[in-house]
Structure formats: structure tokens, C-alpha cells
């Protein structure tokens, strides 16, 4: 009997079985919903506010207001005039200057040239319809009732703009050459920095993976150092090296470091570790059998390099390129410090918002910046998924053979790259300890008296540590728990897919954009979450969200390595999933959990872009202090503070290492025995 | 359904089970009854639905439709944690960071047992599986066969009514496998626990099971004792899947006669009409060469 027969004979029963949820199922789904709500509040809603802001324009619509003016005895004539016709006669404000921001206010007395607040003349004013609104003092008046005011009160009447939705902000943006030029500038510096960084990082990684050069461990450490400092710091270092009074400014042959040259050199510095890590991973998984085959086929080393090495590492190289591109185009700190008159998108957002208070235009630039960032992110994800497929293939690890000439060439090369990195950090530390560069080179600790400078003083430094610790603690809990729920819960497929998408999103959102989106969402007085605005809490929430994706992926990778039947076994033994989670899952994943914590800590210490919009005078941060002190011309203290961040991160790394090696050997005895 | 005692006194009844994954149907109208204390094997090639059926019984992947009744209680939509069974997976799924003792004790906690009762039960189980001194070790320190027995001990620790074994021996090497077959069977008889084992290894099924459920493409092909499925296969698939056989096309030529080519053979009485084309299968051991 074949299957078609069976299907015909037995009609499929209609009564579908609907699962009865266990307590654990309900708890896990509840937990997932809570964390998904967190992501909606901290990501989706703010981004939505930002998008809607970019399409909003505000304009004083004078046709919405009508006035009546009395004679000297307070008697009103029957004539009613609209402000629009009044403005038409007087030409008090040209029509194209009626555009404003969401907070715009327009004093009404400018339509009455012979207005005097002492005159006995009375005024009546009203909105023509429900869209109009104006302030009397601080009281908002809506509705169409007449307000009768004496002239002393009338001078305190301010018109409010009407909101409309459309593309006019974008049209405005693209017809402003100064702003439009930034797109070109941003792409230019990102492409050039990407090419240089990827080439430098490739040979560095190649030397460490494929040669028998010495001091590999040392160079590996050096290569990772830039990750521990804010991206502002290389900018400061470049000022000291190549600035107006720079040590070796002669090397530039008269070119200015303030501009694309500075941004590119600094970008190479701060993106180097990212590119190095990715390419190094790609080179480390190469298959020795391919090289043996190449040798047996008598291929030249040159040919082997192009036919075996490069194809094997191509996904790593492409992925590194897009990661670097993304980092450079979204970076704000470096072009702020060293960019000079060379405008880029990320700095435009800052200038529009902080400098000109033009939030709508800031939102427009953000939308423009999101596009290349999302593209780079999407391509990187596609490439990375292919890299994983390569990893699963079983390969024989490659062991390089000594070759004195090549090895010493690589040692020199790595030495030069190392010198570049150490030099950049060293000059900052040196400058920080100098009394008055370049006139008095005696050593002093004056630059560490942060309390005498703008930017928040030592308080900012302690705030940073507090913020980084809270981010590491809260972020690790939320992210790991969220990853556990999405990986290990049963059913609920759509919910889990949506959650995964939310978890991937933050990586595609530039920090500046996230920060600005937070202003729009959290600084709205109608939002009950408004209370966190200006507190430490919003800084922590923002930073956790900003660095959510990488941490989430780390957690998911660790969880995927766990036997997928643990939850089934635990359920069959009638034990609550929470017990399994605390007694098995967390202890086994402890190394990954500690990695997430240190990643969040270091990034919270160095981040500038998202939090620059969100700090208040009470919650200034060390990285923000670097920015503000540099802005105020206190460059040496800025360097000193930047190096404080560096040492703090080194200290945190050492603590992380001790915990990983020390405590883990005790709690993870089972691992060694295996 | 609840409370109605099954007339055939079966301990576990599967009734008209269907399971679909999207457009793919993994189980097609599966029904079977398992008696108390019985050792049943689900046997079939990979992808035949035997593991899907086991997971439906365990409540790990719920069936699309149909009923599961255990001990007279309809548990069709119960979550795994509210069912009464112990399970051993192919990977054993031992908790790597807990000692052997802690692994076995995992399911004994939160059940109203005192610490000393738990310890007593754990050492009793370690004796039972023949690993009395291994309690303080970690799973990674034991061999595959030992780990397998620990997983078994953990599954039976709290005395479940049903023991589910999902390919428990397939990760082991051949020698250990044969030894453990015997061990598991002895243990099962000693405890008298109703047991279902999923396997694709017919030798395993034939040597261990009281009854075998042969499955193919999501359907039950035959349910019977090892002897029945081997000697009286009900379908061509069963005849082909279990043991060696040679297949011929033949024509019915008499009440107990069949013609293959030009040779006429005697056979058991059948229900086919004269002249009907049939498939004939012959086991190699049934061919007895006669000296000339």
C-alpha cells in the first residue's frame, strides 16, 4: 500500500492539538516579551520618533490668527484682521522666513509698528481654527475663543508654528551645498581609510598567522590597544604630532593635518584592531592541505598566495572592509577634533542639533547617514554567514615554516605598525605630562587638575566608571537572558524571529543617530519615560542598546554550543527551567558572559557618539570631557583624560583576565578534565 | 477522555497521530498500544518519523492532531514537565559542569526528598548501573558507555512510569554497544518499567524488544514480536528492511503454488487468485542446498 492510498483512506482529523503551556513556557515567553518591550522602548520607538521628525516641518501660519484693535477708549471697531493680511501690508516678515523649528516662537507685536505697552489700546486675538495656537506669557491658548488683552499683556503673546508632514526638509537638505558636500566627504574618507586599514591589517595578520616571526604575543597585544581609547584620542595625538606646533609637522610638507589627512590617519588607528581581528580569524582557519597540494603542483609562492591564501581569506577581508567603512562613516569624535573645516555627516548631525538647535535637520542628516551604515551592515552580515560555512569544514591547521628573510621582514613591518600605535598613545601621555607645550617642556601634573577645566572634572571620570560598570552589569544580564530565551524556548516562532531582528538592529544604527533619536523620544514631555532624561539611567540604556548586537551574538554562539536537549531533560525530570539556567547554563557559559561584560565596559568607557546628546551637567562622562576640553582649547588635559580612559580599560582587561583564568579554573574544573 | 480505563489494559495508547512540519507530513495516522512493563522498539530508516513519534509521546514536539493516553489519562496537550517519563538522548545531554552524583540527583531535588534520602537513592542507582565509585567525577572523565549509563540512571532516578530511549547506543563503538544492549534489557526487566526505544539498528531491535514497531515514511508498517516481523513480514518494506532477502516476480499457479520463471515452488496457503502477479521474497537461510 503506498502513501497516497493511506492518505485517501484515512481522512485527516480536524481537531488540532493545542499545546497546554507549562509554567516555564509562560515564564519564558513573559521574559521574552519584557526584553522585547525593552528593545521597543530603547530602539524602535526612538527611531520612529526620529524618522517622523525628519519629515516634519514647522511654519508660522499667519492665516490661522485674527486680531482686533480697540481705540484709545477701549472700544473695539467691528473690523477683524488676519495676521496674514497684516503681514502682507507691512511686510514685517518675508514669507520664506516663516519656517522654524518645533520650538519656534514669534512675538506678535512685530505686526504692530506703533505698538506701545503703555498705551491704553486693547487687543483681541484668537485662533481661526483648532490648528492655530499661541502663548500668552507661558499659557498655551488653543481653540477659537477671543482673548481680550491690554497692551502690556499683548506684548507677551507669542505665536506657535503649525506642524506639517512632507519631504521639504530633505529638499532643503539636498539644496544646501554645504550640507550635501558632507555626503561626498564622508564617503571619501571612509573609502580611503578602509583601503589603507585593510591592507595594513591584512599584512599584520598575515605576519602573525603565517610566519615564524618573533614577539607575536606582544604584537597581538599592541594591535588591540586602540580599542581601549576613544576615537577622539588619535585626533589629539595628531594635533601634537602634525599640528601647528607639532613635533614632526615637517613630514606633511606644508599640508594641514586638520582635514581629510588627519581624519584618515586617525581612522586607520582606531579601526585597525577591528580589521585585524576579523582578518586574523579568517587566516587562522586556513587548510594546510591546500598548501601541500600547491607545493606538490609546483606552484610559485606568488601564485599560491593569489590562488589559495586570498580566496581563503576573502570573506574575512570583505567583512573587515565593511566593518571599517561603517566605523569611519559613523564616527563622530575624530572628525570633530581633527576635521577642521572638512564637514562629514556625523559632525553635521552634532552641529545641527547642538550648534543650531535645528533638530529636524539633524534628523534628516541622521536618515542620510543610516543608509550607507545599513548597507554596509547588511553586506557584512551576508558575508559573515558565508564565513561560518567555511568554518564548519574540517580542515588541517596550517603550520608556517621558518624563513629567516621573510620572518625578519615581517618583524620590521609589524614593528613599524606597532611604533605607529605606540607612538600615537605615547605622544598623548607625553603631552599630558608637559607643563606648557611646546614652550615649557618640564614635567608636571597640572593637566590632571580636571576640576579646573570645563567638561566635568574628575567627577566625569568617576561617572564614566559608574556608567561602564552599570552598563556591563545590566547589559550582560539583559542581553544574555534575552539570548537564552530566544534560543531555548519552545514554539512561539514569530515572536522569536521578531526578537532576533530587534537584536540585530542596533549594529546598523550609528551612535549619533541613536543618541538623537533618544532626544526625540525621551525628551518629549508627553512621554511618561521622560523622567529618565538627563539621568545616568538614559546613558546606561542607550549604551546597552548601542552595543547590544555584538554581545547578543556572543551569547547566542555560546548557547548554541550547549546540548540542545538540556531543556528537554530538565523538563522530563520535572525541574524548573530556572534551576537549569542558574546551575548549568550560566556556569557553562561563564567565559562568554565575562567576555560580554568586558566588551560592554570598554565600549561604555570610550563611547562618545550616542551619549554626547544625552549627558547632563551632573552626568558628564570622561569621553565627553575629552571632547569638551579639546573644544575649549585645553588639549593637554583632554589628552590626559583620554589616557585615563586607556589605563582604566587596561586595568579592567587585567581584572577580566584574572577572573577568567583564576576563578574559572576553580568553577570549571570539569572543562580541564575533558 | 480522562479517567476512562482502556479496555485492553494498555499503559500507553497512541491514537491517530498526525504531525506536519509545514508542507511535510512526518507522522501519518499513527496508532498503537503499549502494555505495562513492555519493551517496545520503534524501528525504521532515518526520516521515517520514529523520533518524531517519541518526541510527541514525550511532549517535546507536540503532534498536530491525535491523542496520547498514558495510564488512562489523556496527556495529548500536556507540556513535557507535566508528563511522567524519563528520557535518554543520543547525546546523553549530561550536565557537563555537575558531577555524576549531582547529575543523577538533579531530578530528585524539589520532590520532597531529604538530602540523605537523595544521597541514598543516588548511590543505590550508581550500584545498579555498576559504577559505584564514579559519583564525584565529571561526565567528561568517563567513557561513552559509562556516560550512557549515567544518563540512564538519571532518567530512572525518580521512578517514572515510562522510559524513553532515543537512539541511546548509536554514539558508541560496536563492542560497547552489544554489551550495553544486554545491560539495558536486564535493567529494564529488573525495574519492570515500560520502555520505548528508538533505533535504526534492526539487530538492536530484534535482540532487545518485546515488540517492534516498524515505521516507514511516517506510517506504521507492522507491529509485532521480533519473530513476527522477521518471519511474517506484513509488507514488502518490512521484509526488505529487516534481515536479508532476495525478491522475485512470480505468478500464482495454484492453491499453494507459485511460479518464478519456469520453476514452480510450494508455499503457504494464500488468498490470491490464480494467475495473479506477485512479489516473492526468500530469506537466504531458508534456502537449504541439498547435496546432489
Q: Where are the domains of chain A?
A: 24-42+455-622, 60-163, 176-444
Q: Answer whether A60's CB lies under 8 Å from A135's CB.
A: no
Residues from chain B that touch A18, judged by Cβ atoms under 8 A, are 77
Residue B291 lies in a domain: no
Counting Cα atoms < 13 Å in the Cβ hemisphere of B285 gives: 4
B230 touching A, CB under 8 A?
Answer: no
Are B254 and B145 in the same domain? Answer: no
Does A574 contact B107 at a Cβ distance shorter than 8 Å? yes
A195-205 per-position pLDDT tens digit? 999 999 999 99
Residue B292 lies in a domain: no
A631-664 per-position pLDDT tens digit? 888 888 999 999 999 999 999 999 999 988 876 7
Give mean pLDDT, residues A552-579: 89
CA-to-CA separations, A449 to A454, A627, A646, in angstroms, rounded: 11, 16, 18
DSSP string of A94-149, one letter each residue:
-GGG-EE-TT--EEGGGG-TT--TTS--EEEEEESSTT--EEETTEEE-SS--EEE
Residue of A24, A490, A562, A572 to mutate, interface with B, max B Cβ within 10 Å: A572
A582 to chain B: closest CA residue: B97
- pLDDT-derived band of residue A395, with 50, 70 and 90 as boundaries? low
Are B258 and B278 in the same domain? Answer: yes
Domain covering A24-42+455-622 assigned CATH 1.10.3720.10 in the classification: yes
B235 touching A, CB under 8 A?
Answer: yes
Nearest chain A CA: its distance from B137 CA (Å): 9
- What distance in Å separates the CA atoms of residue A640 and residue A75, rounded to the nearest whole number? 70
- What distance in Å separates the CA atoms of residue B231 and residue B216, rounded to the nearest whole number? 19
Are B185 and B265 in the same domain? Answer: no
Place of cell 549594529: A507
**Which CATH number belongs to the domain containing residue B261 in this structure?**
2.40.50
Q: Which residues of A508-536 are buried (b: 16+ CB within 10 A; e: fewer)?
A: bbbbbbbbbbbbbbbbeeebeeeebbbeb
Range of the domain at B156: 10-240
Number of domains in chain B: 2
Are B130 and B267 in the same domain? Answer: no
> What kind of fold does domain A176-444 have according to CATH?
MetI-like fold (1.10.3720)
Are B191 and B249 in the same domain? Answer: no
Instruction: Say what percent of chain B tops pLDDT 90.
Output: 39
Residues from chain B that touch A11, judged by Cβ atoms under 8 A, are none
Instruction: Say what percent of chain A tops pLDDT 90.
Output: 35
pLDDT for A273: 95
Residue B3 lies in a domain: no
Are B147 and B249 in the same domain? Answer: no
Q: How many CB pairs under 8 A join A and B?
A: 130
**Which CATH number belongs to the domain containing residue B162 in this structure?**
3.40.50.300
Residue B45 lies in a domain: yes
Question: Given a cut of 60, is residue A6 above it in pLDDT?
Answer: no
Q: Which residues of chain B have pLDDT under 50?
A: 1-7
Are B231 and B195 in the same domain? Answer: yes
B156 to chain A: closest CA residue: A573
A275-334 per-position pLDDT tens digit? 999 899 888 877 778 888 888 888 888 888 888 888 888 888 988 999 999 999 999 999
Are B210 and B82 in the same domain? Answer: yes
| Residues forming beta bridges with residue B214, ordered by sequence position | B43, B222
Q: Which of B28, B80, B107 sits opposite A3 (nearest CB)?
A: B28
Residue B197 lies in a domain: yes
Does A6 contact B28 at a Cβ distance shorter than 8 Å? yes
B99 to chain A: closest CA residue: A670
- What distance in Å separates the CA atoms of residue A99 and residue B8, rounded to the nearest whole number? 86
Question: Given a cut of 80, is residue A384 above it in pLDDT?
Answer: no
Are B124 and B249 in the same domain? Answer: no
Place of cell 542558574: A582
B46 touching A, CB under 8 A?
Answer: no
pLDDT for A107: 87
Could you check whether A24-42+455-622 and A176-444 share the same CATH topology? yes
pLDDT for A8: 43
Residues 13-42 of B with CB under 8 A from A: 16, 18, 28-29
B107 touching A, CB under 8 A?
Answer: yes
Are B131 and B248 in the same domain? Answer: no
Does A670 contact B63 at a Cβ distance shorter than 8 Å? no
Are B194 and B261 in the same domain? Answer: no
Place of cell 519631504: A167
Residue B5 lies in a domain: no
Give mean pLDDT, residues A555-563: 88
Q: What share of chain A is helix, strand, coil (3-state, %, to 5)?
A: 70, 5, 25
B180-212 per-position pLDDT tens digit? 898 899 999 999 999 999 999 888 999 999 999
Residues from chain B that touch A16, judged by Cβ atoms under 8 A, are 64-65
Does A572 contact B87 at a Cβ distance shorter than 8 Å? yes
Q: Answer whether B61's CB lies under 8 Å from B52's CB.
A: yes
Does A573 contact B158 at a Cβ distance shorter than 8 Å? yes
Residues from chain B that touch A669, judged by Cβ atoms under 8 A, are 138
Question: Given a cut of 90, is residue A14 above it in pLDDT?
Answer: no
Amino acid at each position: 500500500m503506498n502513501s497516497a492510498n493511506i492518505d485517501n483512506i484515512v481522512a485527516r482529523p480536524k481537531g488540532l492539538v493545542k499545546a497546554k503551556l507549562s509554567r516555564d513556557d509562560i515564564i519564558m515567553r513573559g521574559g521574552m516579551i519584557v526584553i522585547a518591550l525593552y528593545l521597543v522602548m530603547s530602539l524602535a520607538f526612538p527611531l520612529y520618533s526620529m524618522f517622523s521628525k525628519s519629515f516634519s516641518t514647522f511654519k508660522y501660519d499667519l492665516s490661522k490668527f485674527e486680531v482686533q484693535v480697540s481705540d484709545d477708549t477701549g472700544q473695539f471697531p467691528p473690523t477683524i484682521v488676519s495676521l496674514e493680511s497684516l503681514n502682507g501690508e507691512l511686510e514685517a516678515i518675508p514669507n520664506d522666513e516663516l519656517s522654524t523649528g518645533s520650538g519656534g516662537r514669534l512675538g506678535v507685536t512685530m505686526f504692530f509698528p506703533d505698538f506701545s505697552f503703555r498705551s491704553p489700546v486693547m487687543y483681541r486675538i484668537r485662533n481661526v481654527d483648532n490648528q492655530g495656537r499661541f502663548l500668552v506669557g507661558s499659557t498655551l491658548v488653543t481653540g477659537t475663543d477671543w482673548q481680550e488683552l491690554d497692551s502690556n499683556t499683548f506684548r507677551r503673546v507669542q505665536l506657535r508654528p503649525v506642524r506639517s508632514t512632507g519631504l521639504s526638509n530633505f529638499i532643503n537638505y539636498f539644496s544646501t551645498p554645504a550640507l550635501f558636500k558632507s555626503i561626498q566627504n564622508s564617503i571619501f574618507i571612509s573609502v580611503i581609510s578602509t583601503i589603507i586599514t585593510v591592507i595594513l591589517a591584512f599584512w599584520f595578520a598575515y605576519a602573525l598567522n603565517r610566519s615564524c616571526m618573533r614577539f607575536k604575543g606582544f604584537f597581538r597585544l599592541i594591535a588591540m590597544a586602540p580599542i581601549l581609547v576613544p576615537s577622539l584620542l588619535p585626533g589629539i595625538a595628531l594635533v601634537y604630532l602634525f599640528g601647528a606646533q607639532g613635533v614632526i609637522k615637517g613630514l606633511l610638507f606644508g599640508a594641514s593635518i586638520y582635514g581629510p589627512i588627519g581624519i584618515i590617519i586617525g581612522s586607520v588607528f582606531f579601526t585597525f584592531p577591528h580589521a585585524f581581528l576579523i582578518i586574523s580569524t579568517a587566516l587562522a582557519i586556513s587548510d594546510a592541505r591546500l598548501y601541500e597540494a600547491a607545493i606538490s603542483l609546483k606552484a610559485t609562492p606568488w601564485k599560491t598566495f593569489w590562488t589559495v591564501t586570498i580566496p581563503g581569506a576573502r570573506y574575512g577581508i570583505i567583512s573587515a572592509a565593511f566593518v571599517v567603512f561603517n566605523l569611519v562613516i559613523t564616527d563622530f569624535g575624530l572628525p570633530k577634533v581633527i576635521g577642521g573645516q572638512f564637514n562629514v555627516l556625523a559632525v553635521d548631525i552634532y552641529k545641527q542639533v547642538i550648534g543650531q538647535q535645528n533638530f529636524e535637520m539633524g534628523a534628516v542628516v541622521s536618515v542620510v547617514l543610516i543608509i550607507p551604515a545599513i548597507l554596509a551592515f547588511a553586506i557584512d552580515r551576508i558575508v559573515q554567514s558565508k564565513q561560518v560555512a567555511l568554518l564548519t569544514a574540517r580542515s588541517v591547521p596550517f603550520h608556517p615554516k621558518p624563513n629567516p628573510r621573510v620572518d625578519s621582514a615581517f618583524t620590521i613591518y609589524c614593528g613599524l605598525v606597532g611604533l605607529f600605535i605606540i607612538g600615537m598613545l605615547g605622544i598623548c601621555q607625553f603631552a599630558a605630562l608637559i607643563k606648557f607645550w611646546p614652550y615649557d617642556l618640564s614635567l608636571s601634573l597640572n593637566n590632571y587638575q580636571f576640576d579646573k577645566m570645563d567638561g566635568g572634572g574628575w567627577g566625569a571620570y568617576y561617572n564614566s566608571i559608574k556608567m561602564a560598570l552599570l552598563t556591563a552589569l545590566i547589559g550582560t544580564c539583559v542581553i544574555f537572558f534575552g539570548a537564552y530565551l530566544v534560543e531555548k524556548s519552545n514554539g512561539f516562532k514569530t515572536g522569536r524571529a521578531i526578537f532576533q531582528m530587534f537584536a540585530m538592529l542596533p549594529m546598523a544604527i550609528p551612535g549619533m543617530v541613536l543618541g538623537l533619536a533618544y532626544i526625540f523620544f525621551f525628551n518629549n514631555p508627553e512621554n511618561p519615560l521622560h523622567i529618565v532624561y538627563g539621568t545616568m539611567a538614559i546613558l546606561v540604556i542607550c549604551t546597552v542598546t548601542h552595543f547590544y548586537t555584538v554581545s547578543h551574538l556572543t551569547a547566542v554562539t555560546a548557547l548554541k554550543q550547549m546540548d540542545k536537549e538540556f531543556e528537554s531533560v530538565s523538563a522530563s525530570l520535572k525541574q524548573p527551567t530556572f534551576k537549569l539556567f542558574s546551575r548549568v547554563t550560566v556556569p557553562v557559559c561563564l567565559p562568554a558572559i565575562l567576555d560580554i561584560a568586558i566588551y560592554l565596559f570598554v565600549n561604555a568607557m570610550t563611547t562618545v557618539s550616542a551619549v554626547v546628546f544625552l549627558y547632563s551637567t551632573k552626568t558628564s562622562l570622561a569621553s565627553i570631557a575629552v571632547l569638551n576640553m579639546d573644544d575649549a582649547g585645553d588639549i593637554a588635559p583632554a589628552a590626559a583624560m583620554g589616557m585615563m580612559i586607556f589605563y582604566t580599560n587596561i586595568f579592567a582587561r587585567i581584572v577580566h583576565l584574572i577572573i577568567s583564568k583564576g576563578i574559572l579554573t576553580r568553577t570549571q574544573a570539569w572543562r580541564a578534565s575533558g | 477522555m480522562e479517567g476512562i480505563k482502556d479496555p485492553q489494559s494498555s499503559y500507553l495508547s497512541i491514537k491517530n497521530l498526525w504531525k506536519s512540519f509545514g508542507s511535510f507530513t512526518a507522522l501519518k495516522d499513527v496508532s498503537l498500544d503499549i502494555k505495562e512493563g513492555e519493551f517496545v522498539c520503534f524501528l525504521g530508516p532515518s526520516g521515517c518519523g520514529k523520533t518524531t513519534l517519541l518526541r510527541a509521546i514525550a511532549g517535546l514536539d507536540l503532534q498536530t492532531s491525535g491523542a496520547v493516553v498514558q495510564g488512562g489519562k489523556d496527556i495529548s496537550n500536556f507540556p513535557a514537565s507535566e508528563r511522567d517519563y524519563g528520557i535518554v538522548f543520543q547525546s546523553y545531554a549530561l550536565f557537563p559542569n555537575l558531577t555524576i552524583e549531582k547529575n543523577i540527583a538533579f531530578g530528585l531535588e524539589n520532590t520532597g526528598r531529604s538530602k540523605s534520602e537523595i544521597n541514598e537513592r543516588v548511590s543505590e542507582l550508581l550500584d545498579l548501573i555498576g559504577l559505584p565509585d564514579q559519583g564525584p567525577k565529571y561526565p567528561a572523565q568517563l567513557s561513552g558507555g559509562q556516560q550512557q549509563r549515567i544518563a540512564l540512571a538519571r532518567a530512572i532516578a525518580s521512578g517514572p512510569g515510562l522510559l524513553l530511549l532515543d537512539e541511546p547506543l548509536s554514539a558508541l563503538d560496536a563492542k560497547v554497544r552489544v554489551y550495553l544492549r544486554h545491560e539495558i534489557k536486564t535493567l529494564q526487566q529488573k525495574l519492570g518499567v515500560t520502555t520505548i526505544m528508538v533505533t535504526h539498528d534492526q539487530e538492536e531491535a530484534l535482540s532487545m524488544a518485546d515488540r517492534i514497531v516498524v515505521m516507514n515514511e511516517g506510517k506504521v508498517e507492522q507491529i509485532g514480536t521480533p519473530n513476527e516481523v522477521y518471519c511474517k513480514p506484513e509488507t514488502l518494506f518490512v521484509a526488505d528492511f529487516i534481515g536479508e532477502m532476495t525478491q522475485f516476480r512470480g505468478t500464482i499457479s495454484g492453491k499453494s503454488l507459485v511460479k518464478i520463471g519456469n520453476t514452480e515452488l510450494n508455499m503457504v496457503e494464500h488468498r490470491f487468485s490464480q494467475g495473479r502477479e506477485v512479489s516473492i521474497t526468500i530469506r537466504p537461510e531458508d534456502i537449504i542446498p541439498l547435496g546432489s
